[in-house]
Amino acid sequence: MTRSRVFSALCAVMAGVFGLTLASAAGAAPAWWRVSDGRNEIWIIGAPRVTPRNFNWDTSGLEKRLASASTLIVGPQPKNKVAETGLILVNFGELRSPTPMETTLSPPLRRQFAAMRQSIGQGQGHYDGWKPAVAGFWLSQDFLKAYDLQSGQVESKVRKLAHAKGLSETPSGTVDASEMINQFKTLGAKGQEACLAASVHDLSVGPDRLKALADAWAKGEVTTPPIDAIDRACLQAAPAFGAAFDRAANQDSAAIAQALSRGAPRAVAEFDLPTLIMPGGVLDHLRARGLQVSGPME
């Protein structure tokens, strides 16, 4: 396991923790939301976090909207990737554990974790040396690889098409990796177990379900796994995760409101799907600002 993989894993928020189920009428293309202040409008697409590798979807609606836009608004970006990589390396040792990780787990979680790692071909001891919550991230990464799944493909495609059309890119804000790193370092044994349990639980839906959710998204159905007690236990133990979500939702909605207030030509925005649609997410923030939100629609 390389240190660059640690950086990519720790800068992500656990995929299943911020979920919701919201179904729209199925269509032939992904769903959109239209936000307006009565004069100007911005179209938002929510990007699913996990899709099959080399995932294909109908981009015609996206390309049509990009053609009449001047900018692509995206979610918060790292403040300084080089500096944050250095921060990971400085704290690398504190993310590890001198005790074999599996031996520290409660019997039920130990059995569940072992079953999950065995299902993706990883032997006992593969994740030893990491604190349990960090091992959960590694397990998630290895799960995606084992089942030919990948994170971030839709976001990457949207940004690539926007760049090809010469659009400028406007990040809604910044992400500070130190908060997440410090959260991993300060979690007690109970919190470590709670977040590992959330990772195992979120993966237990299985690869077929994750692929089906991606296919449904491509047809206009907006669906992600619901949050439950196991996920909430991790959020309660690790408030930095919830704070990161709240900050991202606020930054995203503020960027949309600012673009509308400037009277800029039609813009397109791409945000993380759960951050967009869950209660207290971007859409709720936009409505609270008095903006008109309609959708999901093709």
DSSP per residue, the chain: --HHHHHHHHTSPPTTTS--B------SS--EEEEESSS-EEEEEEEPSEEETT-----HHHHHHHHT-SEEEE--EES-HHHHHHHHHHTGGGGB-SS-GGGGS-HHHHHHHHHHHHHTTPPTTTTTTB-HHHHHHHHHHHHHHHTTEEESHHHHHHHHHHHHTT-EEEE--EE-HHHHHHHHHH--HHHHHHHHHHHHHHHTT-HHHHHHHHHHHHTT--B-PPP-HHHHHHHHH-HHHHHHHHHHHHHHHHHHHHHHHTTPSPEEEEEEHHHHHSTTSHHHHHHHTT-EEEEEE-
On the question of pLDDT at 148 being above 60, the answer is: yes
Residues 6+ apart with CB under 8 A from 297: 24, 31, 32, 33, 34
Q: What is the pLDDT of residues 22-45, one digit of tens each?
A: 444 455 799 999 999 999 999 999
Q: What is the pTM of this model?
A: 0.85
Pick the more confident residue, 33 or 89. Answer: 33
In 3D, which of 282, 292, 291 has the Cα closest to residue 172? 282
Which residue reads 């990007």 in tokens? Answer: 47
As a whole-number percent, the residues of the chain with pLDDT over 70 amount to 84
> Which of 8-17, 55-64, 155-164, 240-249 comes out lowest in average pLDDT?
8-17
- The amino acid at 23: A
Q: Phi/psi at 135 (nearest 5 deg)?
A: -60, -35
Interatomic CA distance for residues 238 and 188, integer angstroms: 10
Interatomic CA distance for residues 191 and 133, integer angstroms: 8
Parent domain of 228: 3-297
- Position 265 scores a pLDDT of 61
Under 8 Å between Cβ of 145 and 47:
no
For residue 170, count CB atoms less than 10 angstroms from its CB and return exposed for 0-12, middle for 13-18, buried for 19 or more.
middle
Interatomic CA distance for residues 219 and 213, integer angstroms: 10
Whether omega before 78 lies within 30 degrees of 0, making that bond cis, reads no
On the question of pLDDT at 253 being above 50, the answer is: yes
* CA angle centred on 14, ends 11 and 20, rounded to 5°: 135
Which band of pLDDT confidence, cut at 50, 70 and 90, is reported for residue 115? very high
170 token code pair: 């406007």
Interatomic CA distance for residues 141 and 103, integer angstroms: 22
Under 8 Å between Cβ of 73 and 276:
no
Which band of pLDDT confidence, cut at 50, 70 and 90, is reported for residue 186? confident
- Total domains present in the chain: 1
